[in-house]
Structure 1
């Protein structure tokens, strides 16, 4: 595959990533774009079929259903998409286990046996790398591009993603093409997916990577720059009012912190505060206590009169919802900033 990633293969990367995310609306649009740019129906069908081994049958079958609907819509609209070649039949004496073992060795750069789970080892060798990779309507390099893009759409598979970046090199994808995949994903899918791919490529290439994790999309708005309280923050924050707090209502806000941003030490008098973390990685610390690392789903209940601070980790955006029950005479006391010396002790 050439240094520059052809437009249709950028589309294929987006298709694979959106399949992994289960984003059927985005997938339909990516399939239409890919067909317009020269992908064949069988190329897309083959990629989505292969991905059941990486993202599961439900994702794969849903994606194939989306492809079927898009293809029918286009046929009815008079668009003649290219069917493309199907895989050639395998010879009668084809040994899937032997061939798959060799393909896996080439991909990993060494022989590998998963002795803890022999059945899984057999399925990987004989079925995935033996049966599926033997289908020659996608090359091994193209299959690895599809796999990298799909894994970039998933959380918690960093080691597998890096293994496939390394394997893609062994299968013939150039370094230039591998560097182009993250850019395509960022443009066509999202910042988080591009970030995961770019981080994996940099680490496999042995290059330093200091880019902060982007803000993952949530159901809540990021809001506007928090200029009214900027003097109480180190770094930039954003504020979105989720309720107006009128009458008997409780004012609820979504607060977004850029990497390294944190508020000053402060105290809520006469009422506490609750933080519901919804995206990224951050910190909360009460005076005299160790800092607590925060992730999406964590809840922090801050009692009244407790001096504390909260904000983003150095390498990640961070969002939390914040609210306090209104109490007559309640107030905030803003104190000194969290110094760089204090903050930089945190991982």
Structure 2
């Protein structure tokens, strides 16, 4: 039992160090503002959930809640990521969050529930709403003819606009910036999704994140998930920033 407690304590310490990591050298040189501790929490719990590492997720959730992340924010991040890594990972993440909250309540810790999603007042179709949101995120008009996978499988293009960019992105518990950090955390952690990662890192810049903050994001992925995943993400980010010049 004592050994188990020591291992558990070591895991919590490692996750705490990851989530409170300082700005890396690239970020400092750039002079950009750093990611907040809240943003780093969203990245790490999303990465652990996507990877299926429930032991680190449990410790990460405790650290995030201790740092002020609300229950609804943590829950919303884990719900959001199902669109990028599937229901099984998302549901296991939610079950882990439930277990963490039960343990914390038993210890007398009363975590803040946080805001609920604001009721939507928009009579337009979900497709039109999703198309508008995607346009805002990408900074590109969405009225052109379908190409690529959207032309090959128009059904999935409808699902994306109606469900992902309307049903999910419309929920204001998390901001667009929050949701994009969750998204790139998932895509970096699962690997093999570099074209999608490229699109969403570009969106990160469109919604106000700075290059230095994205370099710091890669550092968080390196600490939380590993060198291989971080190097793949860094390569994509470097290509984006070079093309932006």
Please confirm whether the aligned pair reaches a TM-score higher than 0.5, indicating the same fold.
yes
The answer to whether the aligner puts 1:161 opposite 2:197 as a matched pair is yes
The answer to whether the aligner puts 1:118 opposite 2:167 as a matched pair is no
The answer to whether the aligner puts 1:54 opposite 2:84 as a matched pair is yes
Q: 1:5 aligns with which of 19, 31, 35?
A: 35
Asked if the contact 1:3–1:177 (Cα under 8 Å) also holds between the matched residues in 2, the reply is: yes
Q: 1:135 aligns with which of 166, 171, 174?
A: 171
The answer to whether the aligner puts 1:79 opposite 2:115 as a matched pair is no
Residue matched to 2:238: 202
Aligned length: 206
Q: What CA deviation, in whole Å up to 9, does each residue of 1:306-329 have, x standing for no partner? A: xxxxxxxxxxxxxxxxxxxxxxxx
TM-score by length of 1: 0.57
Structure with the largest fraction of helix: 2
2-structure distance, mates of 1:141, 1:14: 15
The answer to whether the aligner puts 1:183 opposite 2:219 as a matched pair is yes
Residue matched to 1:96: 126
Shift of 1:92: 5.7
Structure number with larger C-alpha Rg: 1
2-structure distance, mates of 1:22, 1:91: 36
Shift of 1:107: 2.4
Q: 1:31 aligns with which of 49, 61, 64?
A: 61
Q: Which has the higher contact order (CA 8 A, sep 6+)?
A: 2
Query: Alignment RMSD, CA only?
Result: 1.6
TM-score by length of 2: 0.79
Structure 2, unaligned runs of 5 or more? 1-31
Structure 1, unaligned runs of 5 or more? 208-347
